[in-house]
Amino acid sequence: MIETSTIIEAIYYILRKIKKADKIKLVKLIYLADKYHLILYGRTITNDDYYAMEHGPVGTTVKDVLSFDEFNVSRKELRYASSLIEKIDQNNFKIRSDTKKAFDMLSDTDKEALDFVIEKFGKMSSLKLRDYTHKYPEWYQYENLFKNKRTKRERIDTRELLSTFKDDFLKMPAKHIRESEKILTGKFD
């Protein structure tokens, strides 16, 4: 089940560290933190539904929270997001300066994954992050569909997020990834 409160706190956690970011950057950083956590521990931070879209993989609830979408996010969750995150303009965000949050929804390993992603990717521009996420097979398998405008999005199975590539910061030994897949699927030998 998607925990929107966890997503809101993860966005807030990132913004506390990097101060300000646009929607694409936040969506990509959460995606990379989810991948990292899944590869290490067999679960994502957010449990969000991911889709390959023109600008790379996107967590749908992350996107909805950052859009302050009243259709897909409850009023209570939007109030919570608004209490922590300030929308500077249509695409840029920062934390509310009058708020201090204890991160009740984030585990220690969630924070570890977020810190890792902030350290490795936090200084990248949105476009560099987009290009980086286009290297993952869960996105590039659909690249031609986006180029030819044949689709707007394609569902990514969570298991596909266990992918890495040669020079990836998230790269782990194949044996470790297989163990994380067992945890994810609940299929132990």
pLDDT mean across residues, the chain: 93
Contacts of 165 (CB under 8 A, 6+ apart): 135, 136, 137, 171
More confident position, 71 or 157? 157
Beta bridge partners, 92, equal: 22
What confidence score (pLDDT) does residue 144 get?
A: 84
101 has pLDDT over 80 = no
How would you classify residue 166: left for phi > 0, otherwise alpha for psi between -120 and 50, otherwise beta? alpha
What confidence score (pLDDT) does residue 57 get?
A: 95
What confidence score (pLDDT) does residue 66 get?
A: 95
* 160 three-class SS: helix
Kindly state the tokens that stand for 127.
């476009």
What confidence score (pLDDT) does residue 2 get?
A: 80
146 has pLDDT over 90 = no
What confidence score (pLDDT) does residue 47 get?
A: 95
Kindly state the tokens that stand for 16.
């506390």
| pTM of the complete model | 0.94
Q: Residue holding tokens 């302050």?
A: 68
Residue 189 DSSP symbol = -
What confidence score (pLDDT) does residue 3 get?
A: 85
Starting at the edge strand found earlier in the chain, the sheet holding 56-59 runs 56-59, 50-53, 153-156
The whole-number average pLDDT for the span 28-32 is 98
C-alpha 182/C-alpha 160 separation (Å) is 13
C-alpha 122/C-alpha 186 separation (Å) is 33
Residue 188 DSSP symbol = -
Among 1-5, 134-138, 159-163, the range scoring the smallest mean pLDDT is: 1-5
C-alpha 63/C-alpha 117 separation (Å) is 18
Answer whether 185's CB lies under 8 Å from 42's CB. no
The whole-number average pLDDT for the span 56-74 is 92
C-alpha 97/C-alpha 11 separation (Å) is 15
